[in-house]
Amino acid sequence: MTSVTRDQVLDALRRVHDPELRKDLVTLNMVKDIAVREGDIRIGIELTTPACPLKDAIRSDVEREVRRLPGVRSIDIDWTAQVRATIRSQNALPGVKNIIAVGAGKGGVGKSTIAVILAAGLHRSGARVGLLDADVYGPSIPKMVGLENERPSVRGEKILPLTAGGVFVMSMGFMVEPERAVIWRGPMVHGVIKQFLDQVEWGELDYLIVDLPPGTGDVPLTLSQSIPMTGAVVVCTPQDVALLDAIKALRMYQQLNVDILGIVENMSYFIAPDTGKEYDIFGRGGAEKAAARLKVPFLGAIPLNVAIRVGGDTGNPLTAFDETDPATAKAVDAFVRTAAGQVSIRNVLRPAPLDLKIT
């Protein structure tokens, strides 16, 4: 019996398409190596994010296509992940591959909570993650992640972020009293933010999550002009997802020239802590319908959950909810993976300009 060859395996992998990126694994440069020993095949596949939502689909497609080849005995896949960059160091934030803004049309919808959940989830998947609290008017991240009384250290001209549960954290709240920030206006905010951005030493990050203040004021404007954003996650609650509100939020990011990664519905439904039963208090699903009408991705629905609120208000929202609340853990995980998938899609559709360093 003729034994299967490396080239045959490679050809089979050309027939496997990433369901989201809509190209085959070979073209996408996701096949890192193929080893064939008799009928035993080992394939190295590099995902575009450790939080890949489609790993299982890719696995079964690879197995199906490769099994069709004659003489295949076993298939072993080695998974690795390399987050691709949307933005290559345009001096702004060298070393940061993707910058994801979390925004909302208005305050109180859980923007900071979603920013923390997203950062923590990406970190859990194995990515290097930073969280920047740019909500100068209401910096709440330090309290949420239990760093309220800490101050970042300074090395030379640089400010070093603090860490919470493995996520690098920086907040305007570390630098100024929130009561003082409220009176800042245009040019002043612009100067402070720019200086702040220049001075924070993030190091190498796969994702930097930015908690933006609501609206189209000076801060979002300065930020979107100063740092190249991969895109924005727009947070809605079921109450305000009348189509008009969603349109307003999306238009805001269009004005700021920031791509939309998608809409997430927060406090979407209630899970009773004792029974695990789900209640649609506010009419769940509004954001999903709005997203479909507006042709932007729907990223998921996060339940109204006591554990999230308690965590958020007592400085420990970095928990995975795994043991305490598997339903919430599942919803959070699905949102994080869908958002990471949207970042990967953008990186493939709009690849980073080549880093033309002259050496």
User: Which stretches of the chain bind ligand ADP, using CB under 6 A?
Assistant: 104, 107-113, 140, 266-267, 302, 304-305, 308-309, 312-313
Which one, 112 or 342, has the nearer CB to Mg ion? Answer: 112
* Residue 133: strand pairing partners: 171, 211
Give the position of tokens 């969603």. 246
In the three-class reduction of DSSP (H, G, I as helix; E, B as strand; rest coil), residue 98 is classed as strand
Give the position of tokens 């100024």. 176
What sign does the dihedral 240-245-246-249 (CA atoms) show? Answer: negative
Binding string, residues 306-335; x marks residues near Mg ion by CB under 5 A? ------------------------------
Distance of CA 112 to the CA centre of its chain: 13
280 binds, among ligand ADP, Mg ion, none (CB under 5 to 8 A by kind): none
Smallest distance from the beta carbon of 109 to Mg ion, in angstroms? 9
| Residue type at position 296 | V
Smallest distance from the beta carbon of 14 to ligand ADP, in angstroms? 43
267 binds, among Mg ion, ligand ADP, none (CB under 5 to 8 A by kind): ligand ADP
Smallest distance from the beta carbon of 110 to ligand ADP, in angstroms? 3
Smallest distance from the beta carbon of 101 to ligand ADP, in angstroms? 13
Q: Which of residues 136-165 bind Mg ion (CB under 5 A)?
A: 140
Task: Burial-class residue 268 by CB neighbours within 10 Å (0-12, 13-18, 19+).
Answer: buried
308 binds, among Mg ion, ligand ADP, none (CB under 5 to 8 A by kind): ligand ADP
189 binds, among ligand ADP, Mg ion, none (CB under 5 to 8 A by kind): none
Element at 25 (helix H, strand E): none
Which one, 75 or 109, has the nearer CB to ligand ADP? Answer: 109
CA distance 294 to 115: 23
CA distance 342 to 20: 9
Which one, 308 or 343, has the nearer CB to ligand ADP? Answer: 308
40-47 β-sheet, strand order:
31-37, 40-47, 74-81
Which one, 50 or 214, has the nearer CB to ligand ADP? Answer: 214
Phi, psi of 312 (to 5 degrees): -60, -35
Token pair recorded at residue 170: 């920086």
CA distance 92 to 89: 6
Smallest distance from the beta carbon of 235 to ligand ADP, in angstroms? 7
112 touching Mg ion, by CB under 5 A: yes
Which one, 47 or 271, has the nearer CB to ligand ADP? Answer: 271
Contacts with Mg ion, residue ranges (CB under 5 A): 111-112, 140
